[in-house]
Structure 1
Amino acid sequence: MDRNETALPLCRLDDIPDGEAIAVDAVLPDGPESLIVLRQGAAVHAYLNICPHAGRRLDWAPGKFLISKGALICAAHGASFTASTGWCIGGPCRGQELHRVAVAVVEGEVRLA
């Protein structure tokens, strides 16, 4: 059995509307963190919920994110990040990136990879 099969699920894939994101709490090696989990069809991407510009959360309300044309937008200062890579493509931290967290979908559950 590999680590993906034994990791506790963060959420179910069906918990995330396609093209949207949710926030989940996870315990990572460095301690507890809020994660952004984005779904694009069957693909899932996860990042720490911390904007590289000012270190603030990206959600406009707890667990609610602004997504427009495939970009995740920081509610604090408007930085835009490509959902699939986490790269900032517009705003005050252009060229920086969100901290990626490896996840995998196993039997319909999103788990830390």
Structure 2
Amino acid sequence: MRLCHLSELPEGEARGFDPLHSGQHSLLLVRQGARVHAWRDACPHHGTPLAWRQHAYLNAARDRIVCAAHGALFEIDTGLCTLGPCLGEHLQAMPITVHPSGEVHLADDTFQETPA
């Protein structure tokens, strides 16, 4: 399932996606250089969406993913919560493939709204 092209996801930016066409983002991508990290858009504390507004997933320093509901901070590359009520828990990683052409695809077509 195609999500975007790397040119649509600038370096150091995050973007939400709605692969199920449910009307709300359930997946987020963060680009760090050639690497793209994919996470389920759900805080492990209560499952709430992470962004405080559309595509606003990162803190001011742009070095952590932040949960708007709880202020929890997560490492971009590991999803580990380093501050907040879910300290030590992780965001749920989502399998993606970045093709040589720059196309980013969700690698698993069994993506579901609720974690398995």
Q: TM-score, normalised by structure 2?
A: 0.80
Q: What is the aligned residue count?
A: 102
Q: Which runs of 5+ in 2 are unaligned?
A: 108-116
Alpha-carbon distance in structure 1 between the residues aligned to 2:17 and 2:102: 16
Alpha-carbon distance in structure 1 between the residues aligned to 2:32 and 2:62: 12
- Letter of the 1:102 partner, please give it: P
Alpha-carbon distance in structure 1 between the residues aligned to 2:32 and 2:58: 15
Pair 1:20-2:13 in alignment:
yes
Report the aligned-residue RMSD.
Answer: 1.6
Pair 1:62-2:54 in alignment:
yes
- Letter of the 1:109 partner, please give it: E
Alpha-carbon distance in structure 2 between the residues aligned to 1:85 and 1:66: 14
Q: Give the corresponding residue for 2:43.
A: 51
Q: TM-score, normalised by structure 1?
A: 0.82
Question: Identity percentage over the alignment?
Answer: 44
Q: 4+ runs of 1 displaced by more than 2 Å?
A: 66-69
Alpha-carbon distance in structure 2 between the residues aligned to 1:99 and 1:75: 17
Q: Which has a greater percent of strand?
A: 1
Closer/same/farther in 2, CA of residues 59 and 69 from structure 1, 3 Å limit:
closer
Alpha-carbon distance in structure 2 between the residues aligned to 1:98 and 1:42: 21
